Amino acid sequence: MLLQLKLIFEIDIEMYAILDIETTGGQFNEEGITEIAIYKFDGHEIVDQFISLVNPEIPIQPFVVKLTGINNAMLKSAPKFYEVAKRIIEITNDCVLVAHNTAFDYRILRTEFRRLGFDFNKQTLCTVELSQKLLPEQPSHSLGKLVRALGIPMADRHRASGDALATLKLFQLLLAKDTEKSIVQELIKTEVLKGITPKLYSIIESVTSNTGVYYIHNEECKIIYIGKSKNIKKRINQHFTGIDKKSIKIQSQVFKVTFEETGSELIALLKESEEIKIHKPIYNRAQRKTLFNIALYAEEDKNGYLTLQLQKADGRKKEITSFSTLQEAKNTLFRITSDYNLCQKLTGLYVANEACFQYKIKECDGACIGKITPEVYNTRVSEFIAKNSFEDQNMILKDKGRTIHERSVVLIENGIYKGYGFFNLNFQINNPEVLKSIINVMENNRDTQHIIQSYLRKNKVQKILKLE
């Protein structure tokens, strides 16, 4: 009788393969595995393990080298994937595949096996989803932050073995919390529910890897989401592998994706903003209204000094530029104060009755206590305003086009955004009237002004041409 009970118990044990993969980085479906770690776990202890570097036969992206410490030289003598494939099949046999963001690791593994002509198909379980269910009070469910918050020791971050072991310990804790194993069973999914389905995979393959605006449509062809990206294919893949509520809803409703290449990221941002306001997609709720509620104003104080003030945006007042968050505004104002040798007291960053702190450490020349005249100080403020405000200005922002033979232009006339266009390199844009003929007319509003100003603060266009 005891032997019979023991056999029944052993049969009921669920086996798990705790997985972590490091990759080369790169475009969707073109990544290669650089390291893999698998721990076979019976719910109580590790019963088998496999850890190996893998020669991906393609270069590793520089940012990945910096992140993981794995470089191309380390992988020259490592086994290629086909040499370790049999061992991976053996250790994962009859196991539920577990990873932190399983959608990524499982997709990469399936892709490698698909290249070998083998259909690697497993039930999967994601510790991100599981932790969201069982630990909803945690502010972050990223692996690093989650294990630190839970007191789980972690070594070799961003290496396959270290991340897999941390995932295993996290999973063990989550299993203990899920006493009836009902949540675990609920979240165990097959490829049909969890991975990239054939339909989604086909959609991803149909879009470009270039910069532009994309439109996600449902079965009735209604646009449900609009976005922009410097790599549309990569961004769509993120939507289709995401596990947040919005991504899951998009995955269940998407029928097709259309896109328009822009070449220029600035034009993509401007076009995205306008298209969202026109179409009002259901999953772009936050972007339907103006989000730039903090504005920078110049006001003269009682002593004649031009002060810069961050205030709630007021359409009745003339603003220099605007921001989406107060923190962004303050960070930018600190940089402006430093770049133009302004006084932190007169830019509202330091409150004091007398000299500002920067004066005390000799980084301010004393406008705060009248050491320099308003005329001298105001010249610097005016220089900043002239460079960052488009009021009454006529200019062309010239940038990358959709092909190597093309350039893009954004036209600003009398301080008003008029629209964008594209021209062939053989075409000279000296004639304003000819230029206007190629411009796609767009709406000017506070959002477009902010987008242009914010973009120019953080990025460079190829050329800014002043028009007479």
How confident is the model over 13-44, as pLDDT tens digits?
579 999 999 999 887 777 899 999 999 998 88
88 with 177, same domain: the answer is: yes
Residues in the chain: 468
How many other CB atoms sit within 10 Å of the CB of residue 124?
A: 23
For residue 49, the model assigns a pLDDT of 97
Query: Which pLDDT band holds residue 289 (cuts at 50, 70, 90)?
Result: low
179 with 30, same domain: the answer is: yes
- At which of 143, 166, 194 does a domain end? 194
8 Å CB contact between 350 and 344: yes
State how far the Cα of 459 lies from the Cα of 61, in Å rounded to an integer: 22
134 with 158, same domain: the answer is: yes
81 vs 423, more confident: 81
Q: Report whether pLDDT(392) > 80.
A: no
pLDDT in tens, 192-246: 334 466 778 788 888 999 999 999 999 898 999 999 999 999 899 889 888 788 8
Which residues, including other chains, have CB under 8 Å from residue 256's CB and lie 6 or more apart?
203, 217, 221
pTM of the shown model: 0.53
Domain count, the chain: 4
3-state secondary structure of 457: helix
11 vs 170, more confident: 170
264 with 403, same domain: the answer is: no
For residue 131, the model assigns a pLDDT of 92
Assigned token pair, 195: 């991975």
Assigned token pair, 332: 């930018």
For residue 226, the model assigns a pLDDT of 96
- At which of 228, 254, 287 does a domain end? 287
86 with 208, same domain: the answer is: no
Q: Of 229, 227, 217, give the one whose Cα is nearest residue 287.
A: 227
State how far the Cα of 455 lies from the Cα of 450, in Å rounded to an integer: 8
Note whether residue 4 is domain-resident.
no
336 with 283, same domain: the answer is: no
pLDDT in tens, 117-159: 888 989 999 999 999 989 999 999 999 999 999 988 888 888 9
For residue 432, the model assigns a pLDDT of 63
| % the chain with pLDDT above 70 | 91
Compute CA distances 193 → 14, 196, 225, 241, 442, whole Å: 20, 8, 22, 11, 42
Q: Of 106, 254, 128, 127, give the one whose Cα is nearest residue 191.
A: 106
For residue 456, the model assigns a pLDDT of 82
Note whether residue 443 is domain-resident.
yes
The mean pLDDT value of the chain amounts to 86
Query: Which pLDDT band holds residue 291 (cuts at 50, 70, 90)?
Result: low
Note whether residue 179 is domain-resident.
yes
Q: Report whether pLDDT(1) > 50.
A: no
pLDDT in tens, 409-456: 999 888 888 899 998 876 666 666 667 778 888 888 878 888 888 888
For residue 9, the model assigns a pLDDT of 35
- Count of alpha carbons within 13 angstroms of residue 145, beta-carbon side: 8
The answer for 166, left when phi > 0, alpha when psi is -120 to 50, beta otherwise, is alpha
- At which of 355, 370, 385 does a domain end? 370
For residue 77, the model assigns a pLDDT of 94
238 with 331, same domain: the answer is: no
Note whether residue 27 is domain-resident.
yes
215 with 169, same domain: the answer is: no
Q: Which domain holds residue 283?
A: 198-287
